Amino acid sequence: MTDNRIGTSVRRWDRHGREHVVRLERAGLQRTFGCGTCGWRRGTRHLPWTSTDEHPATEHLAEAHQATLDPARR
Ligand SMILES: [Zn+2]
């Protein structure tokens, strides 16, 4: 888990420099992604929290907020 820099949240910036964060919440086996900007939520049962790309959180940030800039990535 040290390779992807995600941990329990995904941060992206949009073109206006605003930060959008999707957090991972766990309740038993259920995991839920929650967007701090618009309240978007999505539950997932078995999706691994590993990849920085092709991920529901990054997809949502890109599509809903045009937030694709990863502050942790150079
Ligand atoms: Zn959102």
Number of domains in the chain: 1
Between the CA of 57 and the centroid of ligand 1 the distance, in Å, is 9
User: 30 lies in which domain range?
Assistant: 9-65
The DSSP code sequence of 18-72 is -EEEEEEEEETTEEEEEETTT--EEEESS--S--SSS-HHHHHHHHHH---B-TT
Strand partners, 31: 26, 44
Single out the residue of 2, 1, 5 nearest to residue 48, CA to CA.
Answer: 1
For residue 4, being part of any structural domain is answered with no
To the question of pTM greater than 0.85 for the whole model, the response is no
* 10-residue averages of pLDDT along the chain (74 residues): 56 95 84 93 68 73 95 73
For residue 3, being part of any structural domain is answered with no
Between the CA of 58 and the centroid of ligand 1 the distance, in Å, is 10
Between the CA of 35 and the centroid of ligand 1 the distance, in Å, is 5
CB atoms within 10 A of CB 6: 20
